[in-house]
Structures are given as C-alpha cells and as structure tokens.
Chain A
Amino acid sequence: DGGITQSPKYLFRKEGQNVTLSCEQNLNHDAMYWYRQDPGQGLRLIYYSQIVNDFQKGDIAEGYSVSREKKESFPLTVTSAQKNPTAFYLCASSKDRALILPQHFGDGTRLSIL
C-alpha cells in the first residue's frame, strides 16, 4: 500500500546532540512537509519542499534543517540549536502543490530529551 513512513516512532536526544527523523513516501507526491505538534496545540510548519533539491522555511524553522535529495525522502534534522525539541513531529506529503487536495500524514515521531 502507498503511504508515508516515519521512523523511528520514539526518539531520545541527549543535550548537544543532533538527531535526524526519517520520512519516506511512495505516493509519488511532489510536495512534502514537516510539522511540530506540542501538547494542546495545533500543528506548526517547520519546513516544506515542493520539488527535489528545493525547500522553504516554515513558521518555526530555527534549530532545524532538512534536505530533499530524492522525491521520496525528506529527512528532518533537529540540531543542538533547538533548545526545546521535545514534541511530536509529523511528516506530510501532497500530490497537489497548491493544496487543493489534502495532505497525507505519517504516523509521527515522538522526540524527547534525555
């Protein structure tokens, strides 16, 4: 079945450490997105990419980095500069860059500080 796979499901980060969250899709979608969700809040956009080798900052990009070397993959790195990384991270993709069609989401990664 086509879908979006996020790994790992749970991730723990030590102080000063960079960690990378994986997001892979086999839906042949051009656009991919990373969101952060904190308790009691909605999703906030970190980064998005509408085409391979191109990406844009979202509303809360500071302390994060991404790459888009392949259409299927959009990994997110949480750097040591992100001082409050504990959150639920969701990856999404969309066939339609203009978002007339809905985004499809992965199952998420829960990141915690050790």
Chain B
Amino acid sequence: AQKITQTQPGMFVQEKEAVTLDCTYDTSDQSYGLFWYKQPSSGEMIFLIYQGSYDEQNATEGRYSLNFQKARKSANLVISASQLGDSAMYFCAMREDILTGGGNKLTFGTGTQLKVEL
C-alpha cells in the first residue's frame, strides 16, 4: 500500500481563490510527522508547512494551513488567496516514528500540479 497518496494529479484555481490539495497517509505509528513542499518548474523544493501527529492545533504558515484529520489519516494543504506564483508542483511527505526506524527519512507522494489562473 502507498504510504502517501495524492489523488489529484492536477488542479486549477482562480487567482485570489482558496484551494485544497489532498493528502492521505498510511502508517501504524503513533508518532509521525507530515510535511508539504512546493516545487516550482525550476526544480528546487521549498518547505511550506509541518504537522506533528501529536500537535493538537492544525499548523498554519501565512497563507498555508494544514487540515489535519488524524482519524481519517488525511493532511490536506489549504492555500488561501491564491497567487500566480503559487503555480507549482506540491508534494506531501511523511516521516514515521524514529523508534521504529522510520524517523530519519521522508516518504513522498506523487504530487499535485497546481495552476493558478487569472
């Protein structure tokens, strides 16, 4: 089974609108972390936001927020007030429990290509 699933290969959103990028994960660990990265066409990976499994509040960073639903094993990224510069590939990634040997690496999903339109 895929550890990280991003079911939306591509998404379109109009400028200034909000958009939600889906991410579901699969782990039996109690302690884990979820990351979102942005990859523009130039290729570099830009860290956006992090959510720990024990964090009670949903993470927020500026226009980015993470809708963390632990029981559903989902960690959707919400981008508010989309801008043209948000057009990029977005990756969800998971770090599992270090005590079970998974804590020192990330597993990435296949990504969602977001296109922001005027």
Contact = CB atoms under 8 A, between A and B. Distances in A.
Interface stretch (B13-21, B37-45, B64-72, B80-88): B37-45
A78 to B, nearest CB: 18
- Interface magnitude class on chain B: 20 to 34
Interface residues of A, number: 26
Interface string A18-49: 00000000000001010000001111110010
A41 B44 contact: no
Interface string B87-112: 00001010100100001111011110
B45 A99 contact: no
Interface string A74-110: 0000000000000010101000011110111111101
B14 to A, nearest CB: 25
B12 interface: no
User: Quick one: which of B35, B43, B52, B109 has the most chain A CB within 10 A?
Assistant: B43
Given A90-B45, A102-B47, A41 B110 contact: yes
A33 B44 contact: no
Contacts of A110: 43
Nearest to A40: B110
A92 B45 contact: yes
A31 B106 CA distance: 13
Interface of B: 4, 9, 33, 35, 37, 42-47, 50, 52, 91, 93, 95, 98, 103-106, 108-111
Q: Top 8 nearest A-B pairs by Cβ distance? A: A42-B108, A105-B45, A102-B47, A99-B95, A108-B43, A43-B108, A98-B98, A107-B44
27 contacts: A31-B104, A40-B9, A40-B110, A40-B111, A41-B111, A42-B93, A42-B108, A43-B45, A43-B91, A43-B108, A45-B105, A45-B106, A48-B104, A48-B105, A88-B43, A98-B103, A99-B33, A99-B103, A99-B105, A100-B33, A100-B50, A102-B35, A103-B45, A105-B46, A107-B43, A108-B43, A108-B44
